[in-house]
Structure formats: C-alpha cells, structure tokens
Structure 1
Amino acid sequence: MPSDNHIKSAFSLIEKDESKVLGLTVGKHENVQPGTYIPRQDAQEVPKLSFSGATPNNKYVIVSLDIDAPFPSFGILGPILHWIQSDVKVTGTSSLEFDAPFVANYIGPAPPPGSSPHRYIFFLYEQPEDFNLKDHAPADGQKLANMSRMRYDLDAWAKEIKLGPLVAFNYFVSN
C-alpha cells in the first residue's frame, strides 16, 4: 500500500489555513470549495487552477489523485494518479498557466458503477529547481498507461524528485 503522508498533510493544511485552498474551476463549476460534488460529465476537461499566494517567478507542479479507487470502502487500487503537470507559472490574475508537456496526462473521474463518490484531490507544490521533465514524462508526449497510475505513491515520487513544499490544495467529489 502506498504511503499517504502528503495526502494527510494536504487535508490538514486547508483545515488549519483557508488561504491555502487552491482555486479550482471544473467545467462550468467555478470557485469550487473543498468537497463540492461535481458530476462526472462536467469534470472530463483539465480544470483551471489559481492561487493568489503563488510567487510570479516560481515554477510549480500540480498533482491530482483519486484516493478512493475502486471503492471508498475498498481502496485496493488507489490512489490512482489523474494528472501531473510541471512548469506551471502564475499570471498577474493568480491563474496558473502551463505550456510544457505533461508528466501524466489529465484523466477525468470514472468511478465504477455502484460506487459512492470518489475524492479527486489537487496539490500545488513548488517545483524543484533541478526538475527535468524529460526524466519523468513518457517519451514523445505519450499518454501515461493506466497500470502506471494505479496504487500511485506520491510520497515516493516526491522524495525521488525532491519535491518542494505543498503550497495549496483542494478537492471535489464525483461519481
């Protein structure tokens, strides 16, 4: 079972400090608050993110996981990696923008039939200065295979790349 220290600390971060809630727009749902229900069909496109506390000259990494796969009461396959985007920059409007290739392409919610809602979580981290996208992304912009997404160990990957501190966090639920 992958460790979940980053997941636990993220939930704790926004409980202690509401200013650390990552701005999240999912489809037509703007200003998504932590735990908001979003219908599956509304969350198939890459979300728009913002964070007023981001430093304009810094680069960031976005990581998204489904922490309830395949069922919240039976998470044997989870967490499932839904997205990793590096080289994220903040604009003057606090929007987070990126034009670099992904590390792991975004996939929308897809809980199995009969499942209760899953939590889809989004982390914003400072990107390590020596992070090299080519060392971590699939070759030639290929999409990340499903087997590489299951039982994703964010703690191990964060240690491997010397991931910077968690800056902001948010999540929605969907089924």
Structure 2
Amino acid sequence: MKLLGAVLVALSLLLPGAWASEASRTCIFQTLSEADHEFCRGDLEIIYPEVGDVSCSYIPKCHEYRRKLSEEWGQPRIRYPWAKKNKKYVLVMVDPDAPNRENPRLRFWRHWLVTDILGSDLRVGKIKGKVLTDYNRPKPARYSGYHRYQFRLYRQSQHQTISLSSEEQQSLGTWDLKDFVEDFHLGHPVAATQFLTKNCKD
C-alpha cells in the first residue's frame, strides 16, 4: 500500500498536467435553459480570468469560481467582434433578479454602466469610455438562488451625451432600465448575453 502511495506521489510530481486535466474534466460549464438562452444574441463575449468566455452559461462552484467571481476578479473583458469601428456604444450590466428571482423588487440592479465606447475597442475586448457606474462584482445573497447577470450593448448616437440623474446616481437598485433606454433613444440592444450564478456558500 505504501508503495502504491509513493508511485502516485511520484506520478503527481512528474505528470502535473495529467492531474490538472483530470480535475478540469469534473468542472462543467452548463449551458442555460432554453428560456434563459433566448436572451443571448449577437456573439457578445464576457471574459473572466481562468474561465474565459462565460456568455450564456452557469458559473460552476468548482475551483472556487463563484467565490472568485464575487470576491477577486475585476471587471471582465467585453468583446464584440461585429462592432463598427467608428461607432460608439453603451454597455449595461444589470441583475434583474434582486433580491431573488421570485420577488425581484429591486430589479434592475445596476452593476456597470459605460458609455462612449468605441467600436474599435470593443472588437478587441477593451472597455474604454465614460464610466457612469463602476463595475460591481456579482454578489448574490445566500439562499437567494441563481441570479441572471445581463449584459446589454446599445448603439450610441455619435454626438449624444448620456448621463444618470442625481437620483439614479444615489441608488443602484430599482433602476428603471426601460426609461433610461427610452430617454436616450437607444432602441434595442445590438447584442446581449447573460450568465447565472449564486452565492458561493449555497
């Protein structure tokens, strides 16, 4: 038995890749249900370190990905390969399930809002623009189930200035996204996607 243990230890030192691939096989990124999947369109990529593009998937608990998403990772890279180089865009990230999906009285909780993003930057995954709401990590409350974190990308008119009211600036929750879109004539998103996650301790 000791000999077998020694052989396994030796193998782990000599072949770390083999053990890593074994571990990675147990970490599965599930795609969303058909109803949630319908929200995703336009090839918008949401890229976090270690996991890559999480568009239209559940964040798994394995490898502490949910904890890292809530406590460590900063804003993701947002890539939209079909962006028109000389056009401007608005990026919105919201949680429509605050405080939970059954009773979303605080929808659409605003997690990130950036305007004046050049299409040339979007095509390579850079978000440079006017930040109206700093990126807030997804932090679902315990026992609140899965939350959808939605990313919506809108085309912005060339000489348009977009802003938040003082009331909107003071509160991230119960944001009227529909009114915001209508006020600035943003129309329908040119691309949208979402991922689902829940509290890492659940």
Scaled to the shorter chain, the TM-score interval is 0.7 to 0.9
**What amino acid is the match of 1:170?**
T
Look up the match of 1:152: 175
Look up the match of 2:52: 30
Relative contact order, CA 8 A, sep 6+: which one is greater?
1
Look up the match of 1:41: 68
**What amino acid is the match of 2:184?**
I
Look up the match of 1:141: none
Structure 1 counterpart of 2:161, from 124, 128, 132 = 132
Could you tell me how far apart the structure 2 residues matched to 1:59 and 1:11 are?
27
Q: What secondary structure is seen at the aligned counterpart in 1 of 2:132?
A: coil
Do 2:115 and 2:129's aligned partners in 1 also have CA atoms closer than 8 Å? yes
CA-CA distance at 1:46 after TM superposition: 1.0
Unaligned runs of 5+ in 2: 1-35, 61-65
Kindly name which structure, 1 or 2, has the bigger radius of gyration based on alpha carbons.
2
CA-atom RMSD in angstroms: 2.5
**What amino acid is the match of 1:23?**
E
Look up the match of 2:22: none
CA-CA distance at 1:33 after TM superposition: 3.1
Could you tell me how far apart the structure 2 residues matched to 1:113 and 1:13 are?
25
Structure 1 counterpart of 2:101, from 66, 69, 72 = 72
Do 1:103 and 1:136's aligned partners in 2 also have CA atoms closer than 8 Å? yes
By percentage of residues, which structure has more helix?
2
Count of aligned pairs: 154
Do 2:97 and 2:108's aligned partners in 1 also have CA atoms closer than 8 Å? yes
Q: How many percent identity over aligned positions?
A: 24
Could you tell me how far apart the structure 2 residues matched to 1:118 and 1:40 are?
14
**What amino acid is the match of 1:36?**
Y
What is the CA deviation profile of residues 110-169 of structure 1, one whole-angstrom value per residue up to 9, with x for unaligned ones? 111112121100011101233214x4387xxxxx44xx2111111100111111441111
Do 1:120 and 1:171's aligned partners in 2 also have CA atoms closer than 8 Å? yes
Q: TM-score, normalization: structure 2?
A: 0.67
Structure 1 counterpart of 2:190, from 156, 167, 170 = 167
Note closer, same or farther for the CA distance 1:157–1:92 as it changes in structure 2 (3 Å cut): closer
